[in-house]
A and B are shown apart, each in its own frame.
Chain A
Amino acid sequence: KAGVTQTPRYLIKTRGQQVTLSCSPISGHRSVSWYQQTPGQGLQFLFEYFSETQRNKGNFPGRFSGRQFSNSRSEMNVSTLELGDSALYLCASSLVQGGANVLTFGAGSRLTVL
C-alpha cells in the first residue's frame, strides 16, 4: 500500500514568486491536512480538507491556500513568497476527519525562499 506522496521534495524560489505543492494521500483516505515546520515556530497546522471541503484552517495569512480534488489529492499554494515561508511542508492523510484518526505523514516538501 503506497504511503502519502508529496511533490516536489525540494524546491527553491525567490521572494515574490508563488509555489504549488502537491499531496497524494493513501488510497481510500479522504482527509488531507497540511502542516508547516520551521525551526522557530515548530509544527503549525495550516488547513485540513475532507471531501473537497476545507474543514479547518490555521492562523496563516491569506497567501496560503489549498484545495482538494475529487480523488482526494490536495494542493497547497503560497503566493507572494516571503523569506519566512522557508519551511518543511508536511502533508498528512487519514480515513476520516477527527475522532480516532491516525494521521499518516508524507516525507514533506522542503521550500527555500531566497
Chain B
Amino acid sequence: AQTVTQSQPEMSVQEAETVTLSCTYDTSESNYYLFWYKQPPSRQMILVIRQEAYKQQNATENRFSVNFQKAAKSFSLKISDSQLGDTAMYFCAFLDSWGKLQFGAGTQVVVTP
C-alpha cells in the first residue's frame, strides 16, 4: 500500500516570500502521478500542480513549482512570491493505477502581511 507523509503540520510565510512544503511517499509502482491540492477555508479542494512520475522535468504552474526526486520518493512544493490568498491547507497526494488518491496529512500554510 502507498503511504504519503507530510512532516510539517504548519508553515508561516510573509507576503512575497518563498515557502517550501515537503512530501515523501512510498510505493512499489513505477508509473504513477503525484499532486498537490490546496484546501482554503471554503473547504473546496483545488488542484495546484501535477507531476507524472515518468517525466524527469519538474512541473511548474506560475508561482508554484515542484522538486520531484523519484529515487528518494520526495515531492516538495515551492510557493514563490507568496500571496495572502495562498493561505490554505496543502495536501500532497499519490494517484495509484486504480485512480485512488492517497493523501498526506496536510500542511497548513499561513501567509502574513
Contact = CB atoms under 8 A, between A and B. Distances in A.
A binds B: yes
Interface string B31-54: 001010100001111110010100
Interface string A93-114: 0100111111111111010000
B33 A100 contact: yes
Contact of A107 (B42, B97, B99, B105): B42
A20 interface: no
Query: Contact size class for A?
Result: 20 to 34
B68 interface: no
A20 B103 CA distance: 25
Interface in B75-113: 91, 95-106
A88 B100 contact: no
B33 A101 contact: yes
Contacts of A105: 37, 44-46
A79 to B, nearest CB: 23
Contacts of B45: 90, 92, 105, 108
A15 interface: no
A17 B42 CA distance: 27
B83 to A, nearest CB: 22
19 contacts: A33-B99, A33-B100, A35-B101, A35-B103, A43-B91, A45-B102, A50-B99, A55-B99, A56-B98, A92-B45, A100-B33, A101-B33, A101-B99, A102-B35, A102-B47, A103-B47, A105-B37, A105-B44, A105-B45
